[in-house]
Chain A
Amino acid sequence: MKIALTLNGEQASADVEGDSQVLDVLREQFGLTGTKEGCGVGVCGACSVLVDGNPVSSCLYLAGMADGAEVWTVEGLAAKDPDLIEAFVECEGMQCGICTPGQVVAAAALRRHNPDPTEEEIRTWMSGNLCRCTGYGTIVEAVKRYVGRD
């Protein structure tokens, strides 16, 4: 089937199969490899993208459901919002980096939903994004810096 969507602020379309996931379409058809495949079952958050402003696991989001939606990936958010990237760079909120695009997308979504979160709220919001390397301290600091509490 053919889908039309707004991808990172621009009109886009794709031919997809009924069981294609947004993750595969982004990576394989649009070459947007910033969105990573981790667990494949919607647990780890490495594949997070924004669909109509909400963070979703693109590994479990059927491409057909994205027809007519507004989708933002890490590439688009990075281009649109340099502060988001600066916060992660300055706080060194990453090590191996495989979860980082997902963390960045989750942080962007948090600011939309809660512009003044407590640390507890940040940790709860970010708990959909696993990181095995950092112990989360520098990621939480990056999110704090981005949403303006630091």
Chain B
Amino acid sequence: MTATRGAARLDARDKATGATRYVADLSLPGQLHVAVVRSPLPHAEIEAVDVSSALAAPGVVGVFTADDIGAPLFGRRVRDAPVLAVGKVRYVGEPVAAVVADTRRHAERAATLVDVAYRELPVVASAAEATAPEAPMVHDAPWDYPGAVVGPGDGPNLQSVVRRGDEDLTAEALRSAPVVVDALYTTPAGHQGYLEPQGCVARVGSDGLVEVWINNKSPYRLVGQLAASLGLEPDRIVVHPVPIGGDFGGKGSPMAAPLCVALSRLTGRPCRLVLRYSEDLTSTNPRHPTTMRVRLGADRDGHLLALRFDSLADGGAYAAFKPIASVNLHGVLEAGSPYRIPHRYIESRIAYTTTVPKGHARAPGAPQATFAVESAMDELAGRLGIDPVELRRRNVLGDGDPNPDGVVWIEARGREVLDAAVAALTPRPVPLGWQHGWGISLYDRATAPGQTSLRLLDDPDGGGVVAEVPIPETGTGNHTVVREGLARLLGLGRDRVRVVHVPTSDLPGDAGVGGSRVTASLSEAVERAAAAWAARTGSEPVVVSLGEAGGAERVTSFSAQIAQVAVDPETGQVRVLEIVSAVDVADIVNPAAHRMQIDGGAAMGFGFALLEDLKIEGGQVGAGNLGDFRMPTAHDLPALTTVLVTGGRGVGALNVKQIGELTNVPTAAAIANAVAAATGARIRSIPLTAEAVLSAMGAPE
């Protein structure tokens, strides 16, 4: 490891010089390359697969289908995804066969020679189609899959349905509310946008030991998933440490691992599959497109009385990529969380369709739900004749208030955060003839540590300590957090703390990167390890292991964003002039990394609001390359202004709060609210393209 000068980030130099080796940069002795033959159809029976031409192509070692590897299913909770299609394909891009060859080029060329005969089946293109009466079934009996959370009585084509709250009391409160907003909001499918495609190298030794190198952010979970899928003993699987080139929720699924392990077993050699980016855009696990009906009732003074939130999301062909027990999206299940709402009822359904399977994306479900609820809050403000900020101030949680789930936070600083955002707003110059407006949006998200572990030992290279960690560096700076925490608590210089990511065989466990928990989890592990280190009498290593339920403190963070926009009334073009993010923080371990989470989040929220759409139509992803799936560039972004509302109470010895999934969430509603303020046009569907804005301006309500 190279020491850094001036900067706190321990991986900076290797990343800047290109020395960091990601999964695509690895080369195992004797490795073979895999190319995948993918379905060109959204729904079809496989009648025949002719591999003879491909087998005869230069460099080809083997061509394999489900007939060769059997029919293992994999998944994070629900095991419903085949490794290679068995009899049927259910989305464009589904793996049907795998070609293994001496080079990637040879494998890819031969893959074009595999001839598959299909018989087309009815397309189930959307969640609405899937849940209509008499809809064709995507799976004959989805309730039979291991881990399934639905039953035959739940209706057709459902992956998950969650009902939360009291439906009758909420209905009654809405009936008697003097003012009710009732509106439908939609958000599109979007890719997480990590620039490093999914990839994996697997080696199955002659002794049966399975070794995996993969850009997967939950390696200990992956061990269990592979064991369950392939019938292996978990202690015969080792996932090796690899840095990850961006995650944003998308790098937590087994992806190519089951296939590469199966192929390595068949060929006796290491097998490597790194997706081309177009494959990643069309066949991994993008964000769920979601349609949400909001019914929000208030009294004439603007006090919220009830919220009913009905969400229907398109889960795609398989439920395999959702990790939580409900197989749902927690951001949807927490709609309205920043406010006091006496009666709230949520129904969240996720449907099977014949489209690419959907998965987690940064704050899963929350950008969608917050777009809907925070747009509805502004619509309510308009109906009541109350200023949108004031409406939020009247309803936001204060100290001691229970949120809609009955949780009372240790402190609730939403009002301070709202006020800080407003105080930071200064009007910016507007092009001549353009219409100007600003809009606000509010979100809150909890900080809770989760399972992790850590080993501390004397550095054999002298002087300091080595901290072995179980968790990949996805870019958030989590290894730097460990170094910084240990340096502080042990009173050592940074250069005397070496952080090493170790294989899954070396530490007790870890829940993986996600849930905004990593800084909290690691800082708690660091705190315990430092205490044990100080108390040790010999020179034995210290191992700490945190269980599932971490600290008991109930901590949340609020984030208020204000978007300032100019809209060209001639074209509908929206120019965002500034995004102010006011965020609720405790102590900050690494200011630069913390800031990048805020700025990067706002940038992602900006893309979600204005640009990004996989354009899934008729079962097929239309935006199949990064020219069509447009993400923000340095030139596209507005001024990003951050106000840190400091002094918050966090968790652990480092007194930290989450920051990774805070500022990407409220942005879309802030921008939609700003466009409505500027033009009078309320747009309930994103992205807010110029065409959509112009059309809405032509038809004001």
Contacts and interface: CB of A to CB of B under 8 A. Distances in A.
A92 B7 contact: yes
Contacts of A41: 277-278, 625-627
Interface of A: 17, 24, 27, 32-41, 43-44, 46, 73-75, 78, 85-86, 88-101, 104, 122-124, 126-140
Contacts of A44: 195, 277, 626
Contacts of B11: 97
B462 interface: no
Nearest to B191: A132
Interface stretch (B13-21, B140-148, B400-408): B13-21
Contacts of A35: 18
Interface stretch (B74-82, B85-93, B597-605): B597-605
A85 B9 CA distance: 14
Given A40-B625, A74-B18, 11 more contacts: A34-B18, A35-B18, A46-B195, A85-B16, A92-B593, A95-B246, A96-B194, A96-B243, A131-B634, A135-B596, A136-B633
Contacts, number: 189
A85 B7 CA distance: 12
Contacts of A89: 4-7, 9, 12-13, 16
B243 A132 contact: no
Interface stretch (B128-136, B374-382, B472-480): B472-480
B532 to A, nearest CB: 31
A66 B447 CA distance: 52
Given A36-B24, A97-B11, A127-B634, A104 B16 contact: yes
Contact of B195 (A38, A93, A139): A38
Contacts of A122: 634
Given A96-B475, A136-B634, A90 B6 contact: yes
Interface footprint category on B: 35 or more
A1 B243 CA distance: 36
A130 B626 contact: yes
B631 interface: yes
Contacts of A34: 17-19
7 contacts: A38-B626, A41-B627, A86-B5, A89-B16, A92-B593, A98-B194, A123-B635
B143 to A, nearest CB: 37
Most B-side CB within 10 Å, residue of A27, A91, A93: A93
Interface string B591-634: 01101101111111000000000000000000001110001011
A132 B248 contact: yes
Nearest to B247: A96
A33 B21 contact: yes
B464 interface: no
Contact of B17 (A27, A74, A98, A138): A74
Contacts of B592: 91-92, 138
Most B-side CB within 10 Å, residue of A46, A128, A129, A133: A133
Contacts of B276: 40
Nearest to B607: A132
Given A39-B626, A92-B12, A132 B18 contact: no
A99 B197 CA distance: 12
Contacts of B8: 92
Q: What is the interface of chain B mostly: helix, strand, loop, or mixed?
A: loop
Contacts of A74: 17-18
A68 to B, nearest CB: 24
Contacts of B13: 85, 89
Contacts of A78: 16-18
A136 B603 contact: yes
Contacts of B601: 135
A32 B25 CA distance: 9
Contact of A43 (B19, B105, B474, B625): B625
B583 to A, nearest CB: 13
A27 to B, nearest CB: 8
A133 B600 contact: yes
B50 interface: no
B635 A127 contact: yes
B602 A135 contact: yes
A127 B636 contact: yes
A88 B247 CA distance: 21
B46 interface: no
B637 interface: yes
Contacts of A100: 15-16, 18
A60 to B, nearest CB: 12
Given A92-B593, A95-B476, A98-B22, A134 B599 contact: yes
B193 interface: yes
Contacts of A24: 105
Contacts of B17: 34, 74-75, 78, 85, 101, 104
A123 B276 CA distance: 28
B18 A139 contact: no
B68 to A, nearest CB: 28
Given A94-B15, A95-B477, A96-B196, A139 B634 contact: yes
Given A43-B626, A44-B195, A126 B634 contact: yes
Interface in B622-655: 625-627, 631, 633-637, 640
B391 interface: no
A77 B11 CA distance: 19
Contact of B246 (A91, A98, A136, A137): A98
Nearest to A126: B634
Contacts of A36: 18, 22, 24, 195-196, 245
A133 B196 CA distance: 12
Nearest to B103: A28
B633 to A, nearest CB: 4
Contacts of A138: 592, 595-596, 599
Contacts of A40: 276-278, 625
A96 B474 contact: yes
B244 interface: yes
Interface in B10-42: 11-22, 24-25
Contacts of A99: 195
Contacts of B9: 89, 92, 94
A9 to B, nearest CB: 16
Interface string B475-502: 1110000000000000000000000000
Nearest to A105: B18
Nearest to A124: B635
Interface string B231-264: 0000000000001111110000000000000000
Most A-side CB within 10 Å, residue of B7, B8, B16, B276: B16
A134 B244 contact: no
A118 B61 CA distance: 55
Contacts of A104: 16-18
Nearest to B18: A34
B640 A137 contact: yes
- The 9 residue pairs across chains A and B that have the minimum distance between CB atoms: A34-B18, A135-B599, A96-B475, A98-B245, A97-B15, A95-B475, A127-B635, A127-B633, A39-B626
A46 B193 CA distance: 13
Contact of B600 (A86, A90, A95, A124): A95
B599 A137 contact: yes
B634 A132 contact: no
Most B-side CB within 10 Å, residue of A43, A86, A126, A127: A43
Contacts of A129: 633-634
A32 B194 CA distance: 22
B561 to A, nearest CB: 13
B521 to A, nearest CB: 19
Contacts of A136: 599, 603, 633-634, 637
Given A74-B17, A85-B17, A137-B596, A97 B245 contact: yes
A43 B7 CA distance: 30
